[in-house]
Amino acid sequence: MARAPSLKSDVESLVRDAPADDAGRSSSRKPPLALGRLERLLGYALRRAQFGVFQDFAAEMKEFGLTPGQLGALLLIEANKGLSQSELGLALGIDRSSVVPLIDRLQKRGWVRRAPRISDRRAHALELAPGGVALLTRLQPRLDAHEERIAADLSPAERQRLFDLLTRVARR
């Protein structure tokens, strides 16, 4: 699986892999595109990193048809048995209208179940179904491999520093 590409390698591959021009000349002869101000935009760098991470994740999880958002929901439910749909939406940063279809899909696949909350029977308590527990157990080695690939160029200290910095950025 490919690791998350750098900004410059992304641009270089776009230029290298571009089709030939009208005269049949390969566009790889052209100098790489200048990133200009994009080179200094943190949001652009984060988006490019996210794109590479998501590509690797999609390739690793293809046979399961699992998205990063679905995995995030499953892991949060695993760690917080009885979590409400509202709490899940808040933790994932998505609105209630998106949480319900997400949980519906997970429930249809036999990974999550809804139970009435004892304190408020109008709300649902979410928990992993046996199929969800089995899925997460089966996925763990693949998730570990994915994490190793995307952080392969980082030392343990750099990886921790990246976590710390991203946490600070996310608080905004």
The per-residue pLDDT for 172 is 79
* Structure confidence at residue 28 (pLDDT): 56
Per-residue model confidence (pLDDT) at position 96: 85
d(CA 8, CA 1): 19
Which domains, and CATH codes, for the chain? 1-20+34-62+139-172 (no CATH), 66-128 (1.10.10.10)
Distance in angstroms (rounded) separating the CA atoms of residues 161 and 24: 47
pLDDT along the chain (172 residues), means of 10: 48 44 55 88 93 95 93 97 92 91 96 86 88 96 95 95 94 83
The pLDDT assigned to 171 comes to: 87
Instruction: Give the pLDDT of residue 117.
Output: 79
pLDDT at residue 90 in the model: 93
